[in-house]
Structure 1
Amino acid sequence: MRDWYLLYCKRSEQERAVINLDRQGAECYYPQVVVEKIVRGKRCECFEPLFPSYVFVTFDSEQLSFTTVRSTRGVADFIRQGALPQIVSEELVYNLMLNEDNNSYEHMFESLPQQGDKLILEQGKFKGLDAIYQEADGEKRSFMLINLLGKQVKVSVENTDLIKNKD
């Protein structure tokens, strides 16, 4: 039986891990979303991992050992429950695949504020500060302008730390 597992990869090495695991006979999956970014001064649409640094993997443990998978270039380790790698629901992985095929992740980014929206940060190290939304930022997902010591400073903030519209 082939169970699905979740791997934590070294920063920005998901593709390397997937290529090397594929060569060894493992099936890998990491969902990606299309994100608008400014690259070299031009706006473009780029693919980014939905879960940065994480890859779902399934393999036959009789043909490929856990140690071999963990030692693959780009892989840091399995996500574990105690000493054993955590098994991920097959249904979860296939639902992620289905949503990616149907572009169902787009709704996740529709709820982001628009540039210039005034907000109050609800969590994190900047909790309670007034902020002005600037733009989406790959991994962190949002750049905000906050007032620190009477000066506006641009910081990157997790979307979970946002959003309480300031009236």
Structure 2
Amino acid sequence: MNWYCIYYKPNCFKVVAIHLSRLNGEYEIYSPKLKYVKVINGKKVEKYQDLFPCYFFLKIDEEKLSLVRFTRGVKKILGNYKGDYSVIDENFIDSLKSAENEDGYIFFENDKKFEKGEQLEIIDGPFKGLSAQYLYSLSSQERVAILLNVANSSTKIIIDKHLVKPRG
């Protein structure tokens, strides 16, 4: 049995799960959930969502995939253009499961606070490794405006808060 990534129609997860339960044989469904804190009107509120909206992982025998493909609510099974299905590494699934808390959620709290003018380093994305200066947080508190210094020129950009860290 291997893990596969299933892409389903919006709001159809329960329908797909019910129809998969009618398959004979063994299988396991895994849909990681994210729990995070968002600031709304100045108050911290816990929010929940799928880590990968409209996707879940299914551990099943390859022979059963054709049945899964035509299950009500399933759009497709991830694979390549030739029609070969992509097997998801067991270690990837295990790492997601190990990140879950006792409630079964992967918890994410973005509580980074920066001071105006603070020097930051971009830790991921196309600007990885570049220095920047913190300007301000946007109202959602999940994105920040920074001044990026490139080639003796400064450019203001908006970036996700989790992509920057204090320099040093």
Asked if these proteins are the same fold (TM beyond 0.5), I'd say yes
Return the offset for 1:7.
2.2
Structure-2 change in CA distance of 1:24 and 1:105 (3 Å): closer
- Which position in structure 1 is the counterpart of 2:122? 121
The root-mean-square deviation of aligned C-alpha atoms, in Å, is 4.1
Q: Which amino acid aligns with 2:77?
A: F
Contact 1:30 1:55 in 2 (8 A): yes
- The 5 A counterparts of 1:36-75 are 36-39=37-40, 42-59=43-60, 61-62=63-64, 65-69=67-71, 72-73=72-73, 75=74
Deviations 1:103-131 (Å, cap 9, x if unpaired)? 6844xx57x67222531325535553514
Equivalent-residue separation in structure 2 for 1:51 and 1:89 (angstroms): 16
- Which position in structure 1 is the counterpart of 2:29? 28
SS of equivalent residue, structure 2 residue 70: helix
**Superposition TM-score, scaled by structure 1 size:** 0.59
Q: Which has the higher helix share?
A: 1
**Superposition TM-score, scaled by structure 2 size:** 0.59
Which protein has the larger Cα radius of gyration, Structure 1 or Structure 2?
A: 2
Equivalent-residue separation in structure 1 for 2:14 and 2:67 (angstroms): 17
SS of equivalent residue, structure 2 residue 16: helix
Unaligned runs of 5+ in 1: none
Q: Does 1:80 align with 2:75?
A: no
Figure out how many residues of one structure are paired with residues of the other and give that number.
149
Q: Which amino acid aligns with 1:157?
A: D
Return the offset for 1:46.
1.1
Unaligned runs of 5+ in 2: 22-27
Deviations 1:74-127 (Å, cap 9, x if unpaired)? x54322255311223456535634542536844xx57x6722253132553555
Structure-2 change in CA distance of 1:96 and 1:126 (3 Å): closer
- Which position in structure 2 is the counterpart of 1:17? 12
Contact 2:69 2:75 in 1 (8 A): no
